Structure 1
Amino acid sequence: MTARAFVLDKERFSPWRPLSHVTWRYGLCLVAAFLVSLASALAQSPVPGRASALETLIIWLPFILKGFALNLLMSFLAMGLATITGVALGLMQISLLWPVRVPSRFVTHLLRNSPWLVILFAIMFMLPAELRLPGGFRILLPDWAKATVAFALPVMGNISEIVRGAVYSIPTGQWESSEGLGFTRSQTLRWIILPQCVRRAIPPWMNWYALLTLSTPMASIFSIHEAVSNAQAGMEAAGARPDLLFPFYLFLLCLFFAYIYPMALWTRRLERKYAL
């Protein structure tokens, strides 16, 4: 095995890159299990006047997809917020001023090592239902918006660490060469270091977006109308039938897999392209 092949193999099976482990076989197994669950539900003794599991799923499909759209919206907004604040926090970690560097490192490690569910509960109960601004203006904060902020916080800590690691991975000779050419530290960071960090940060950034998307169903705990919550509402409206559990939940698994798997392919391609 060559050195490059060893590096690629090590990166591919690295435990902190979850998308590297996603293959089409998992999706095939999910689809097969979904079809088996439908067949099992259809094989049960039919009740006159009651819709089958497949018919019930088709009836509630638009409602579930509407909830899935909210999952995607929360993931987009949370990732955008986490990226902006995480990059700023990561740059603060490499500051030469210890009053800036030390608190930013503390915040980064606090967010990275806190359970997402605990952060979700804290934000949902701490943030008010509306913000009152001077002049009598009020901004409503729906539950899904508060959940979006909660999902952004742990990702922000990890984005901060990605930025810090990417900056420190640049050879020190480039800093020294820039200093010899008369560049200031901010100019070196802005025009030389950060552009090189983008390529190194994209694959882990995509991994964290995938994890964020897969974590958004936790919002169903607070009755936010995302995909899982809507699926549960559909099953309850259909009479809380046991034969609906597997078809509905396996459909949700297939839905999320169909969204995440293309991202996994793209991430692996970028990892190979930018491998050092």
Structure 2
Amino acid sequence: MGTILETLIVWTPALAEGFLMNIIISIGAMSIGTVLGMLVGLGRNSTRQWLRRGCWGVTQFLRNTPSLVLLFYLAYMLPYEVHLAGMTIPLPGWLKAVVGLSMPVIGFMSDNVYGAVRNIHADQWDAAAALPLSRYQTMSSVILPQATPMLLPPWMSYFAVIVMASSTASMVGVKEILSSATVAMESVSDPALIIPMYFYVLCWFFVFCYPFSHITRWLEKRQWR
């Protein structure tokens, strides 16, 4: 047991470096997915029928396609480098993982934005029309400021989900905590290390993600006061 504990301690810096990559991938995926998802969600509330249907179709596709399939598809579809204006821009695996994991976030945010906007009472729309405000002014100045607090609790909860899903990036060659743990076990070649190592990795994710559940509940309680 002492040898296993010593091995875990020795490999902790490498695991911490790998977990930092998990966090970077998660933040990147949530940032891209949140911005694009909000645009798609607002498009579903558009007065233009073609835009509503198009955004609905995008949402349904991204919500009902496994994130791992999207991740593999983008990893092999996107090139390793892009040549632009005489420059060679590399596309590393972690960047592909960010794009791949942002896809389900887009569908998630689209549904939440659509629902939050629909949840605003019709009197708010009538009051904005009476001022009169344009559709853009109504959405940006009246509707979205009231809808945004509804989005925060589920966004926090889904961020924790994406952090846990970021471990799938190891399957496309990204050096994150799971791949670092695999390297550690291959280096030591001790079968007794497998369960403690994976449990140690589980603890990293649990310690990071568990506070988000409390923050989410606190935000939900505050919202309904």
Q: TM-score, normalized by length of structure 1? A: 0.80
Query: Structure 2: which 5+ residue stretches go unaligned?
Result: none
Tell me the residue number matched to 1:122.
73
Tell me the residue number matched to 2:212.
263
Q: Over aligned residue pairs, what C-alpha RMSD do you find?
A: 1.0
For residues 54-203 of structure 1, what are the structure 2 equivalents within 5 Å? 54-133=5-84, 135-203=85-153
Tell me the residue number matched to 2:194.
245
Counterpart residue identity of residue 109, structure 2: I
When Rg is computed on C-alpha atoms for both structures, the one with the higher figure is 1
CA deviations over 1:52-94 (Å, ceiling 9, x no partner): 1111111111001100000000001111010111111111111
Q: Is the 8 A contact 2:72 2:172 kept in 1?
A: no
Counterpart residue identity of residue 147, structure 2: C
Counterpart residue identity of residue 92, structure 2: P
Deviation at 1:186, TM superposition (A): 1.3
3-state SS, counterpart of residue 177 of structure 1: helix
Alpha-carbon distance in 2 for matches of 1:93, 1:130 = 34
Tell me the residue number matched to 1:49.
none
Counterpart residue identity of residue 140, structure 1: P
Equivalent residue pairs, number: 225
Alpha-carbon distance in 1 for matches of 2:23, 2:112 = 23
User: Does residue 211 in structure 1 map to residue 148 in structure 2?
Assistant: no
Counterpart residue identity of residue 223, structure 2: Y
Tell me the residue number matched to 1:273.
222
Alpha-carbon distance in 2 for matches of 1:137, 1:104 = 35
Deviation at 1:212, TM superposition (A): 0.5
3-state SS, counterpart of residue 132 of structure 1: strand
Tell me the residue number matched to 1:13.
none
User: Does residue 220 in structure 1 map to residue 170 in structure 2?
Assistant: yes
Counterpart residue identity of residue 80, structure 1: S
Counterpart residue identity of residue 55, structure 1: E
Alpha-carbon distance in 2 for matches of 1:86, 1:140 = 26
Query: Structure 1: which 5+ residue stretches go unaligned?
Result: 1-40, 43-51
Alpha-carbon distance in 1 for matches of 2:182, 2:100 = 23
Alpha-carbon distance in 2 for matches of 1:261, 1:158 = 21
Q: Is the 8 A contact 2:68 2:168 kept in 1?
A: yes
Tell me the residue number matched to 1:6.
none
CA deviations over 1:78-134 (Å, ceiling 9, x no partner): 11010111111111111111121111110011001101111111111111111121x
Counterpart residue identity of residue 200, structure 2: F
3-state SS, counterpart of residue 131 of structure 1: strand
Report percent identity of matched pairs.
Answer: 39
3-state SS, counterpart of residue 95 of structure 1: coil
Deviation at 1:223, TM superposition (A): 2.7
